[in-house]
Each structure stands twice: as structure tokens, then as C-alpha cells.
Amino acid sequence: MSVKAAAKPLEMGESDCFLLSIDREMQRTGQGIHLNQTVLELDGVPDESRLREALRTLLERYPVLTFAPRRPFPGFPPVLARSRRPAATIPLRIWDEGDDPAALPAFQEQQLHQTEAEFHAAGTTGLHVCLVRLRDGTSQILFTWRHLVLDGIGAEMLLCETAAIASDGGGYAAFATAPQVRAAKRRTWWGHFRAAQPAANYFRDLLREHRFRSLGSAQPQARLGRFVVETLSIEDSDQIARQAALRGGLMTAHFYLACATKAHHEVWRGRGEGPGAYLMSLPVRARKPGSKGPLFQNNMSFLFFSAAAGEAADVATLCIEFQRQHARFLKEGLAGSFLQLQYLMRRVPSRLYSWHLKHRMRGEINSFYHSHTGEFAPDLRTFIDCPVRNGFHIPMVFNPPGTGLFLSHRDGRLTVTMSWREGVISNEEVRLLNSAFIEALRTG
């Protein structure tokens, strides 16, 4: 893709527009902008000047990194367009670990809790990079990225692209952008409206039947995003893979979601109360497996799962129930219908979009966040001559729901990332949620 072609405004897809409403709601409630972080752990320290040069080329090749959302006219769907004040370079910060081992997580959390003005202080950009030099001679690359421009798999591809540029200048991405999941075209607005009805009815019936709450729903909103990351041993990861196969067969995603549900249920039980029911949205990657693009925008759709509080303590029961719901979602075309709902909402101002969402969902979005992004950048073996030890994502959740449990794996080791908003759960509950999740993964 030529730079000139890439500099044209980009239509924002259904998922992009949904995330834009979330981003605006986060800013309105003092939760910063919707940022995530992708971490690459390296043996050795990459050459700073080569990294800087690679980032310069990256920005030159992909001007979309300096784009910002904008509505051409009121009532029009938003586009990603060149910012009036584009960044001249992707900011690269060098951070040396001092004597305090807690300083790095605090630094990362601070990176993830920025306002739009702070993030764009040196000009608009969708990506900040930090090279962390650790005392033991290893290092980390932190990609802090704005969810309006990238998604998790895109961030992995962008790391691959950066490594490729630094080593041989070669491009990784077959093509840079274009959302892969779009609502099926209808001839009229009424056609889209009718196609959205099955999803609208699904949520109406679900909300009539169940009262679900998130852990963060009753808490103050403007609190710092926190996280813990744990990479499990190969033995533990093997044991978890066996449990996943035992409970879910080849459809392991249901098992991981079931474990996250059970872990949240343990926290509710600890509080001596229950949420009534759980509602979860599971992102589904839209890029066909093995494809090397697109890099940018959000390329995912969502599946929805629910669980009654009475069944949330048993992983086996949840797995069967989630498989049944997954089949129903596909058979009844609910995924496509939900896309039509999102399509209709694209023209709605973001503030109204999020208000409508919260109003329809009775103040909640879902019970918690969860995803398993699969194997982390399996093709990325070295980064600027440094062997890659591990890689994972730190998705920053907003409140409500205020908590999220995320997984990825690399070279046979599973990494568990738990994110939450400070104040949503106590320190004791943080430990309980994390340990209950890992215990559920191990024992099913």
C-alpha cells in the first residue's frame, strides 16, 4: 500500500464505532482513553538507534498511526482521518529498572491511564513505544496502543512488522487496513433495522429473564487501571490444556470462559451476595487464521454468553451450556444480526451510543471481560537480534464492569493477565479472583 493511498480517511467499521463510544465514555468518566499494552520480553537489549529508525519507517509506511476519529458531518458515520496535528515520530521512551521491583508495574499502569491530551502531547499517534532495560540484562518492549486504531492481533502483527523493518526492511502485512467484519448490506435502512431485530429480541429476552451485575457497577468510576500478569510453567500449562480438552473437547474457548465465570462467582460468594446472572461478550477474531493482515482497525465480532448464578460454580455445566448457546447464536444468525445493530448505531453520536447501550443494558455492559488471543506472534522469534522469550497483552478494562481475565500462550506456556479498576475489588478479592481463575483452569 502506498503512503498516499494509506493517507485517505478510513471508514470505521461496526466494532470501531462501538469502541469509539466506549472510548468517549471512558474519557467522560475520568478513566483515560481506551489504551492497551502489548509486552514483548527479550533476551538482551535491542539496539536503541535501530529501534528508533524502525519506528520512523513504520510511521512513514503507515500514516494511519497518526489518524484520529472524526465525523465528516453530524449524523454521518465516523471515519479515521489524518489528525490536524499528526505526530512527527512514534514516541520512544527508554526506561531503566532501578532498585524498586514495583516501579515497573507502576510505570506500565501510568502508561495505561492517560488522558487523550497526555497521550497526544507530542502529536496524534495511535502507538507509544517504551524500551525497558532490566537489571538482569534482559529487556521488554512495551507497545501502548489506542484501541481505536489497533486490536490485539494487529498489535502482534505490528510488532512483527517493526522487527521485519529493523532486520531487512521487508513488509510483513499483506495489506494494512479495512475491517474484516461488516454488517451484510441491505438496500434500505428498514432492511438493516429488520435484520437487527433478532439480536434486539435476544437481549430483550435475556434482560427480562435475568438480572446481571458486574463487580464494578456500584463503584466510583474514575480510578486507576491495575493489572497482574503471571506466566505459568510448561507443566501447569500442559495440565490446563488437558483440562480444556477434557471439558470442551476441541472447543476450548468455552472452557476458558467457564473458568473466568467461576472465578468471578467466587468473588461474589465471598461478598455474600450474587449477581443473579452473568453476561459475557467474547471477541472472535475475524482475520482468517494464518493471514498476515490487516494490521489496523478492529477486526473482530462478538459472541454473547450468559449463565445463571446457580450454574456458575461448575465448569463442566458451564461448558455444556456455552456450547449450546454458541450453536444457537450461529444457527439463529445472531452474530450477523448483532452486527446490524452495531451498523445502525454508527450514525449515532458516541455519547448517545454509550448512553443507549447502558440504558438498554440497565447500567451495565457485561459482567466482565475475557478473551484468549491464542498463540502470541508465533512467527516472531527475534526482535532486533534479541531472542523473544515471551509476549502477552495487557488489556485495560473500563468500569463497569471493571474486571477482566485474559489469556494467551507462547512456546507452550500460558500467560494469565488480570486487569481491574482500582476500587472495584479489594486487594483480598484481587488475590481471590486470580487464584480462583488459575485453580479453575487447573482442575476444571
Partner 1 sequence: MGNPPCDSNLEEDLIQVIRQSLLDLDPDFGSTSDFFAAGLDSMSIMQLLLILEERYGASLTLSEVSRENLATPQALANLIREKQSLA
Closest CA to 33 of 132, 107, 111: 111
248 contacts partner 1 (rule: CB under 8 A): yes
Taking the CB of residue 412, how many other CB atoms lie within 10 A of it? Answer: 13
67: left (phi over 0), alpha (psi -120 to 50) or beta: beta
Beta pairing, strands 386-395 & 35-42: antiparallel
Binding mask 352-381 for partner 1 (x = CB under 8 A): --------------------x-x-------
What ranges in 222-308 are assigned the alpha helix state H? Answer: 234-248, 252-270
330 contacts partner 1 (rule: CB under 8 A): yes
3 contacts partner 1 (rule: CB under 8 A): no
First-to-last CA distance in the chain? 47
Which residue do the cell numbers 459472541 mark? Answer: 303
Report the residue from 281, 291, 317, 382 that binds partner 1 according to the rule CB under 8 A.
291
The distance of closest approach from Cβ of residue 257 to partner 1 in the complex, given in angstroms and rounded to an integer, is 10
Decide whether 27 or 291 has the Cβ nearer to partner 1.
Answer: 291
What ranges in 62-130 are assigned the alpha helix state H? Answer: 103-112, 116-119
The distance of closest approach from Cβ of residue 306 to partner 1 in the complex, given in angstroms and rounded to an integer, is 17
250 contacts partner 1 (rule: CB under 8 A): yes
Quick one: which segment of 61-69, 114-122, 242-250, 338-346 binds partner 1 (CB under 8 A)?
Answer: 242-250
Class of residue 79 by CB neighbours under 10 A (exposed 0-12, middle 13-18, buried 19+): middle
The distance of closest approach from Cβ of residue 285 to partner 1 in the complex, given in angstroms and rounded to an integer, is 8
323 contacts partner 1 (rule: CB under 8 A): yes
276 contacts partner 1 (rule: CB under 8 A): no
Decide whether 122 or 184 has the Cβ nearer to partner 1.
Answer: 184
**In sequence order, which residues have a C-beta less than 8 Å from that of residue 341 and are 6 or more positions away?**
196, 199, 200
- Rounded distance between C-alpha atoms, residue 159 and residue 152, angstroms: 11
**In sequence order, which residues have a C-beta less than 8 Å from that of residue 320 and are 6 or more positions away?**
none
Decide whether 406 or 420 has the Cβ nearer to partner 1.
Answer: 406
407 contacts partner 1 (rule: CB under 8 A): no
252 contacts partner 1 (rule: CB under 8 A): yes
249 contacts partner 1 (rule: CB under 8 A): yes
Quick one: which segment of 327-335, 358-366, 376-384, 420-428 binds partner 1 (CB under 8 A)?
Answer: 327-335
The amino acid present at 246, given as its one-letter code, is L
The binding site for partner 1 (CB under 8 A) comprises 248-254, 284-285, 288-291, 303, 323, 326-327, 330-331, 372, 374
